[in-house]
């Protein structure tokens, strides 16, 4: 049987560890405390390769787990909808709503609610049952609305919108509780203490622990669109087109809130406003060489203040382009497209670019290129920001299946107007450990020229 890519990566990771161990054991055997230049170069190269392999292994392990879960769910669905009649066996049945179904989910909702259409009601009921089987961890009967078909949700991929790369890749994701408009988290602000006991029978160190309550509000994100009755009843694909765009907009808004929300006026309190480590890049003639120490400072401040290792850079695509366009005095690029080869590179490529993944890393951390990063920062409203974050401390809660609900009301009966609404609930905090994020600001991050 041929090996999977994950198997090959795991084997290579073991081999890299063995090589590093061999070098260090040789140094120990000679009772040396320092490595030779050749040994240092070899260990550094192995460390870089190990980091790259670890990132790939984590990615493919996560994907394998997701594939296994989907396979399990499909198996459960097949067991429910596979009746036996005579000698025939139905091994797969298409879902009620799919791109080639010939029926419109949006139109059925309208016909069921406004016209009382029995066939539309029956299809919606069958769709709800399919969702309750497919999404076993979510009881759709708990929700007042209707769950949007998955093929419509899939259309939320970021085509003309920025999508939600930060929300998907640089946050710890949680399921929003079924009830309540706030989440309460106890956060210890004064810790206990230990110290050396000076002599026997003397008092040992004692400090009373104290905590404060972190309240994370649940926010509502929603959008609406008025449609003519003619568009719904006589149009072809118009309803689906409008709802799909509302869904794309919803996801993009969630991502922008995670990054930039102010915490007031119904907004999330985003990373930029949560009290992270503030780093100023004030160069009037910005270069990658001048920015590079600020990037190192962003990492060390997280490690020094909360003793965690950051996991991602988040920056606007124009800032990534600024890095990619930089060259040294001989015209050679400072950020190059392949790892384990360049000398003195500020950043390197680590694989093919994809949704949320720029394909590059700096200082060992992958770069997320997110167009939702604000570009109107500063007195002249022309600066962007660079975020360095420890993803496990960026907490995002979403309502299962959001945005899963649609409702239609005859808001303009006299003009044959129908209102389409998409909504969902969510909550975000980076304040459990605010210093688990570093935010680089300053005039050095004005819009770059190329």
More confident residue, 241 or 411: 241
Q: Which long-range contacts (CB under 8 A, 24 or more apart) does 126-131 make?
A: 126/96, 127/95, 127/96, 127/97, 130/77, 130/95, 130/96, 131/401
One domain for residues 11 and 148:
no
Distance CA 397, CA 216 (A): 10
Quick check: is 298 in a domain?
A: yes
Quote the pLDDT of residue 160.
61
Please tell me the pTM assigned to this model: 0.65
One domain for residues 235 and 340:
yes
Quote the pLDDT of residue 367.
93
Distance CA 430, CA 436 (A): 8
Average pLDDT over all residues of the chain: 80
Quick check: is 198 in a domain?
A: no
In 3D, which of 174, 214, 213, 133 has the Cα closest to residue 425? Answer: 174
One domain for residues 309 and 392:
yes
One domain for residues 300 and 440:
yes
**Weakest mean pLDDT among 125-139, 288-302, 351-365, 430-444:** 125-139
Quick check: is 197 in a domain?
A: no
CATH classification of the domain holding 257: 3.30.2400.10
Q: What is the DSSP letter of 72?
A: H
One domain for residues 147 and 78:
no
pLDDT (average), residues 184-202: 90
Quick check: is 380 in a domain?
A: yes
Quote the pLDDT of residue 411.
58
One domain for residues 112 and 258:
no
Whether the predicted pLDDT of 181 surpasses 80? yes
Quote the pLDDT of residue 50.
84
Distance CA 340, CA 364 (A): 12
One domain for residues 367 and 247:
yes
**Weakest mean pLDDT among 36-45, 252-261, 337-346:** 337-346
Confidence of residue 188 (pLDDT cuts 50, 70, 90): confident
pLDDT (average), residues 411-435: 84
Query: Tens digit of pLDDT for each residue in 205-218?
Result: 999 888 888 999 99
Length of the chain as a residue count: 450
Quote the pLDDT of residue 268.
96
* Most confident segment among 19-23, 129-133, 136-140: 19-23
Residue 270 CA to chain centroid, in angstroms?
14
Instruction: Identify whether the C-beta of residue 175 lies closer than 8 Å to the C-beta of residue 400.
Output: yes
Quick check: is 171 in a domain?
A: yes
One domain for residues 446 and 360:
yes
In 3D, which of 383, 335, 334 has the Cα closest to residue 358? Answer: 335
* Domain total of the chain: 3
Whether the predicted pLDDT of 56 surpasses 50? yes
The CA dihedral of 406, 412, 417, 423, to the nearest 10 degrees, is -20
One domain for residues 365 and 331:
yes
One domain for residues 319 and 439:
yes
Whether the predicted pLDDT of 113 surpasses 50? yes
Quote the pLDDT of residue 75.
58
Quick check: is 89 in a domain?
A: no
Residue 112's contacts (CB-CB under 8 Å, 6 or more residues apart) are 120, 121, 124
Last residue of a domain, one of 84, 117, 137: 84
Distance CA 135, CA 127 (A): 12
Whether the predicted pLDDT of 374 surpasses 70? yes
pLDDT (average), residues 96-100: 72
Instruction: Identify whether the C-beta of residue 325 lies closer than 8 Å to the C-beta of residue 336.
Output: no
One domain for residues 145 and 37:
no
Range of 117's domain? 100-152
Please state whether beta strands 437-441 and 277-280 pair in parallel, antiparallel, or not at all (unpaired): parallel
One domain for residues 220 and 115:
no
Quick check: is 203 in a domain?
A: no
The token pair that represents 374 in the structure block? 């604000």
Quick check: is 192 in a domain?
A: no
Confidence of residue 76 (pLDDT cuts 50, 70, 90): low
Last residue of a domain, one of 84, 111, 131: 84
Whether the predicted pLDDT of 4 surpasses 50? yes
């Amino acid at each position: 049987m041929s090996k999977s890519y994950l198997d090959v990566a795991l084997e290579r990771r073991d081999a890299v560890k063995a090589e590093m161990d061999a070098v260090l054991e040789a140094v120990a055997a000679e009772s040396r405390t320092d490595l030779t230049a050749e040994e240092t170069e070899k260990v550094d190269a192995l460390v870089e390769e190990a980091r790259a392999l670890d990132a790939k292994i984590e990615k493919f392990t996560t994907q394998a787990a997701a594939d296994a879960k989907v396979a399990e769910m499909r198996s459960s669905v097949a067991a429910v909808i596979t009746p036996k009649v005579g000698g025939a066996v139905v091994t797969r049945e298409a879902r009620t709503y799919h791109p080639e179904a010939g029926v419109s989910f949006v139109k059925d909702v309208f016909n069921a609610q406004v016209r009382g259409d029995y066939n539309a009601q029956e299809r919606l009921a069958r769709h709800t049952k399919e969702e309750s089987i497919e999404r076993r961890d979510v009881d759709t009967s708990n929700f007042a609305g209707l769950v949007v078909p998955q093929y419509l949700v899939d259309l939320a991929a970021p085509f003309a919108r920025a999508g939600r790369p930060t929300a998907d890749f640089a946050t710890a994701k949680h399921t929003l509780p079924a009830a309540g408009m706030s989440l309460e988290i106890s956060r210890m602000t004064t810790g206990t203490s230990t110290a050396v006991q000076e002599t026997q029978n003397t008092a040992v160190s004692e400090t009373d622990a104290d905590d404060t309550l972190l309240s994370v509000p649940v926010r509502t994100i929603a959008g609406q669109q008025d449609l003519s009755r003619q568009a719904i009843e006589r149009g072809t694909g118009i309803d689906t087109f409008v709802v799909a765009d509302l869904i794309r907009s919803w996801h993009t808004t969630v991502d922008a809130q995670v990054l930039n929300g102010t915490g007031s006026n119904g907004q999330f309190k985003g990373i930029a406003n949560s009290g992270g480590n503030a780093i100023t890049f004030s160069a009037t003639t910005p270069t990658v060489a001048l920015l590079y120490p600020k990037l190192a400072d962003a990492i060390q401040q997280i490690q020094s203040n909360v003793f965690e290792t950051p996991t991602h850079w988040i920056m606007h695509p124009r800032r990534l382009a600024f890095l990619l366009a930089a060259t040294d005095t001989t015209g050679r690029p400072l950020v190059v497209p392949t790892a384990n080869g360049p000398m003195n590179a500020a950043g390197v490529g680590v694989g093919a670019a994809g949704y949320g993944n720029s394909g590059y890393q700096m200082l060992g951390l992958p770069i997320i290129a997110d167009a939702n990063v604000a570009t109107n920062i500063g007195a002249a409203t022309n600066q962007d920001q660079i975020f360095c974050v420890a993803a496990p401390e960026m907490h995002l809660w979403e309502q299962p299946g959001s945005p899963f609900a649609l409702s239609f009301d005859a808001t303009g009966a006299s003009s044959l107007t129908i209102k389409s609404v998409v909504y969902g609930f969510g909550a975000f905090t980076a304040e459990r450990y605010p210093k688990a994020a570093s935010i680089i600001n300053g005039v050095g991050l004005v819009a770059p020229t190329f």
